[in-house]
Amino acid sequence: MQRFQGKFSVSKSARIGNNVRIGQNAFIHDNVVIGDNSIICENCIIGEPSDDSYNNENYENPQTLIGANSLVRSGSILYAGSQFGEYFQTGNMVSIRENTVFGKRCVVGTLSDIQGNAVFGDYCRLNSHVQVSAKCIFGNFVFIYPFVVFANDPHPPSNYLVGVSVGDFSQIAAASVILPGVKIGKQSLVGANSVINKNVGDFELHSGNPGVKICNLNFILSKEKSGSHYPWPYNYDKGLPWEKQNFDEWAVSKEGRLYV
């Protein structure tokens, strides 16, 4: 196990993989598992206990899993009971509450806050300052841009919480607010500064306050080449599994069939 120089704390019950580097002042709590070749930067807290730990003498920290080749940047806090797939990455000062699940190769940007009990598929990308309430569910290849908020309380304050769901390959543009219980279909787009209070169908653009359907996505023309820009996987591949490969060829491959 390779580590950075400096002081840090690792619980005796934590399991640390090969070639893991841990930064100064990091704290690794009980029952944390960190996969091979991962980096935990300075001042991170991994496996932060839930609120129950303060008043329950019999509290046992649930397992926290971080997949291999992950990078958790400085100041981030990952709460106990959460799971992060391989190649997970955060920006600085990210907070992810308990019982959150991420698939593989997901990215969470600087100062984003996930309030626990949320589920993300593979290859999700959250930009900086994204706020996700509990009980939200996201598919694969979902891109969320800065300052987006996903709400879950239809009559605040209340005990009844209902999260947002977002389908595969959909995008939520900057500074949008998605209200509780809204379902956003696959390959859809929410325009910037929108407030979405009704469901969004597959392959649709919704925008405005309140959000309304503007058009089907295939009507949005590309500024780089002739024809429609959407579905976007045909026109963007950076860091994605079909990079330098035709999307259709990838879609029928062994991996692609898991998603398409």
Give tens-digit pLDDT for 107-122. Answer: 999 999 999 999 999 9
19-78 tens-digit pLDDT: 999 999 999 999 999 999 999 999 999 999 988 888 888 899 999 999 999 999 999 999
How much of the chain exceeds pLDDT 90, in percent? 88
Q: Summarize the confidence of residues 220-238 as an average pLDDT.
A: 89
114 Cβ contact list (under 8 Å, min separation 6): 95, 96, 97, 100, 108, 132
Spatial separation of the C-alpha atoms in residues 41 and 1, rounded to whole Å: 15
119-132 tens-digit pLDDT: 999 999 999 999 99
How much of the chain exceeds pLDDT 70, in percent? 98
pLDDT at 6: 63
In the chain, where are the structural domains located?
1-117
Reply yes or no on whether the pLDDT at 225 is more than 90: no
Order of strands across the sheet that contains 149-150 = 9-10, 27-28, 45-48, 77-79, 95-96, 113-114, 131-132, 149-150, 177-178, 195-196
**pTM (predicted TM-score):** 0.94
Burial of residue 205 (CB within 10 Å: 0-12, 13-18, 19+) is buried
* Cα separations in angstroms, 63 against 60, 94, 134, 204: 9, 19, 19, 39
pLDDT at 3: 55
CATH pick for 1-117 out of 1.10.3720.10, 2.160.10.10, 3.90.1150.10, 3.40.190.10: 2.160.10.10
